Amino acid sequence: MSQDEHRGVLVVGEILDGEIRTCTLELLAKARDITDRLGGRLTLALIGEDAEALGETGVHHGADRVLAADVDHDGFQATPLVRPIARVIEDVMPEIVLLSATDMGRDLAPMLGGRLDTGVANECVDLDLDVSDRRLLAKRHVYGGELEETLVTPSSMPQIASLRPGAARVGFPDEMRFGDVETLEVSLDEGSDLAGTTQGEGPSLEEADVVVVGGRGVPEDGWNIVEELAETLGGAVGATRGAVHGDRAGEEVLVDATGLTIQPRLYVGVGVMGTFDHVKAVDAEWTVAITRSGETPLAKIADWALVGDPVDVAQSLMENVTERRS
């Protein structure tokens, strides 16, 4: 299909616990800005339980049209969605397709690119538009976040990109906004074992209001205090690169320029030095540093710095919170 036949932007949304995920609402805000500059319609594709009931929320957050399929999907597996989403793209014919760079989105984007024979920019930190050429400018961090590259899909359509959760802010919903919510009939791919997957306990790291991050300053035999403090505060656990390299945690909870970007209300850093790559990936309303020295970079920018042995201080904080709640 020629470039002239494609118009507008399509967002592939995600549903979790009966709600549109925060990362999708962030993506809609970014997509709305791009669509207004590009021209055309902004379409949101939602596949999952109660998707149709959530369509109005998508419209209030900027979508002109919502294609909703009420089917049983765990919200994590990408493979069952490849054919249905590819058919939606072929029907809508957007110039740009945007996904969130969640575990599912990072897998789904290249699968769609391969099926549709087009380019994909995965895990972007920002998205812009060259209006004159109608080209998406997909920006990513490289070399450990020291440099930023801009990727462009020069000729193929559609242009596909995934944006890291937390890289954009959720827009204010406009409840007076009107749009179309249409039923999408889909059949998920056979052979994908959805029954065998379960959601992990606790809030997702990208969407948690409270995040407790453990750093290199927490010894391996004391890492459980990071997890216990997060559970006590009702939050999620993250890790610095030093902690990941020290085998305290996996890459999937890495918070830094090359990992996840987070926007919690409360950030607690336990044994975290506060390197530039880590701090730039955190946008919190309130920051607590639990550190051996008040001279660390994180302690200097924190709202509260609790100085002492990170494990002991975290234990005392947890006990204090528990006592106050009882």
Domain ranges of the chain: 3-183, 210-325
The pLDDT score that the predictor gives to residue 120 is 92
Strongest mean pLDDT among 64-68, 111-115, 138-142, 151-155: 64-68
pLDDT tops 60 at residue 93: yes
Report how far residue 325's alpha carbon sits from residue 302's, in angstroms, rounded to the nearest whole number: 25
Report how far residue 206's alpha carbon sits from residue 265's, in angstroms, rounded to the nearest whole number: 12
Phi, psi angle pair for 189, to nearest 5°: -55, 135
The pLDDT score that the predictor gives to residue 109 is 92
**210-325, CATH topology level:** Rossmann fold (3.40.50)
Q: Which residue has the higher pLDDT, 63 or 16?
A: 63
Longest dimension (CA), the chain: 66
Full DSSP string of 92-158: H--SEEEEE-SHHHHHHHHHHHHHHT--EEEEESEEEEETTTTEEEEEEEETTTTEEEEE---S-SS
Per cent of the chain over pLDDT 70 is: 93
Q: Average the pLDDT over 181-185 and give the result.
A: 91
As a dihedral over the C-alpha atoms of residue 274, residue 277, residue 283, residue 289, rounded to 10 degrees, the angle is -10
Same fold, 3-183 and 210-325: yes
Local confidence band at 1 (pLDDT 50, 70, 90 cut-offs):
very low
**Number of C-beta neighbours around residue 321 at 10 A:** 13
Q: How many residues does the chain have?
A: 326
Pick the CATH number of 3-183 from 3.90.380.10, 3.40.50.300, 3.40.50.620, 1.10.10.60: 3.40.50.620
